[in-house]
Amino acid sequence: MTIENPRSEAGQRVKKTVGVGLLVALALASACERDECAALASKVQTGDVFDVFAYGHDFSPFCAAGFEAGQDHARWVAKAWGEPPNPFEYMLFESREDACWPCEKSRGCATSTYLASTDLPHRHEIAHAVRGLPCPTLLEEGWAELYGFAFREALTSGDLRAAADSNRSRVLAFEFYPLAARFVAFLLETRGLDGLKQLCKQTINSSASLDSALTKVFGQSLDEIDAEFSNYPDWSLGQLRQDQACEGTDITSFPGSWTMNLTCGAPGVEGRDDGPLIAQHLVDLPEAGNYRLRFEAPVDFHVRVEFRSCAREGMASVVYSLRHVYSYLTTSGVALFDLPAGLYVFRFSLEEPAELFPFEVSVESWP
């Protein structure tokens, strides 16, 4: 439900920000005190995990499906963490130029009491806020990357010591986010969630403190853990990212086709009406082999396609790829080679939604 903001004290929970392992230096612009900013949130959409406060808009630019998708993601991440969801306020801004924007130059930020973003849902920041930021930043950012954005791919190799030393001000250098995700995946696979949680209770703001924390929790030095970590597969960030869509039940069996209606009001479509629009679909491939995605649309279009196997080797999907599809005719196709049998998530992002339209997608054997 969307209602007018009935309370000038709407930001009282926002005002209770605590500095527990903050990911970004969070300071509201001097021109806008917290209570004043809270009063400027003219509309509120309530939810069971978080309420969304509108800044500079009335929710109309945002696709309706994104609100419930954010709540679902919050519940899913909390379940993966093994604890009840931490309630928080979701401050949804029209622009990062807003006087009340609290995240300085970053795309979004979170504390244990609020999240600020111009996107909905901002899965990375939700993964922070719904757990109340319980970890040192190296681990905190690694976790949020594992449960973060679709269509984000990166190499995860790097120097673990350099990553630990980069967060002396409790802000991890962005270049180490993918490495942090791989390190958290490594810890989850080899030490389990309980081991990660124990490590999260330690102070880690340098390679020396990481060495001390690892020795205290696991009885192994940083040198020993790093030697083991160096043999952990160099899964990419896209392969490691966890995907809630794999738990869906709306599945197309091969051979089959479906309609992708990438309009902002369509069921399951996330984004906003002046930006990329994202939707997903599950497909069951009964046999290993080569396949082709075939697109049929009434107009030219450009979509990004992300596909992954729901089958995993350890923490990583056994198949992950990103493709761009530019169609200047009414049909286009994407060849997919050597796919194992099983369930797949196909995710589509319409990059230039000047003309909003449904298009047909089918999966066929190839060649």
For residues 310 and 317, give the distance between their C-alpha atoms in angstroms, rounded to a whole number.
6
Q: Tokens for 68, please give them.
A: 């419930």
Q: Tell me the pLDDT band of 15, cut-offs 50, 70 and 90.
A: very low
**Which pLDDT does position 34 carry in this prediction?**
57
Q: What is the mean pLDDT of residues 124-153?
A: 96
For residues 4 and 337, give the distance between their C-alpha atoms in angstroms, rounded to a whole number.
52
Whats the size of the chain, residue-wise?
367
Q: Minimal CA–CA distance to 135: which of 210, 70, 47, 63?
A: 210
Name the amino acid, one letter, at 217.
Answer: V
**Which pLDDT does position 231 carry in this prediction?**
96
Residue 59: CB partners within 8 Å, gap ≥ 6? 2, 43, 45, 52, 92
Q: Are 21 and 170 contacting, i.e. CB atoms less than 8 angstroms apart?
A: yes
Least confident of 86-90, 178-182, 330-334: 330-334
For residues 329 and 51, give the distance between their C-alpha atoms in angstroms, rounded to a whole number.
44
**Which pLDDT does position 106 carry in this prediction?**
85
Radius of gyration of the chain, Cα coordinates, nearest whole angstrom: 21
Q: Tell me the pLDDT band of 367, cut-offs 50, 70 and 90.
A: confident
For residues 125 and 132, give the distance between their C-alpha atoms in angstroms, rounded to a whole number.
11
Q: Tokens for 188, please give them.
A: 């989850």
Q: Which residue has the higher pLDDT, 328 or 338?
A: 338
Q: What is the mean pLDDT of residues 80-101?
A: 95
Q: What is the mean pLDDT of residues 158-185?
A: 92
Is CATH 2.60.120.380 the classification given to domain 244-365?
A: yes
Question: How does DSSP assign 43-97, residue by residue?
Answer: EEE--SSEEEEEESS-STTB-THHHHHHHHHHHHHHHHHTSPPPPEEEEEES-TT
Could you give the 3-state DSSP secondary structure of residue 251? strand
Find tokens 């929790």 and name the residue. Answer: 217
Q: Tell me the pLDDT band of 163, cut-offs 50, 70 and 90.
A: very high
Q: What is the pLDDT of residues 290-306, one digit of tens each?
A: 999 988 887 788 889 99
With b for 16 or more beta-carbon neighbours within 10 A and e for fewer, the 169-205 pattern comes to eeebeeebbbbbbbbbbbbbeebeeeebbebbebebb
Q: What is the mean pLDDT of the chain?
A: 87
Q: What is the pLDDT of residues 27-77, one digit of tens each?
A: 333 344 556 776 677 688 999 999 999 999 999 999 999 999 999 999 999
pLDDT greater than 70 at residue 315: yes
Least confident of 64-68, 188-192, 251-255, 328-332: 328-332
Domain segments of the chain: what residues?
2-129, 150-240, 244-365
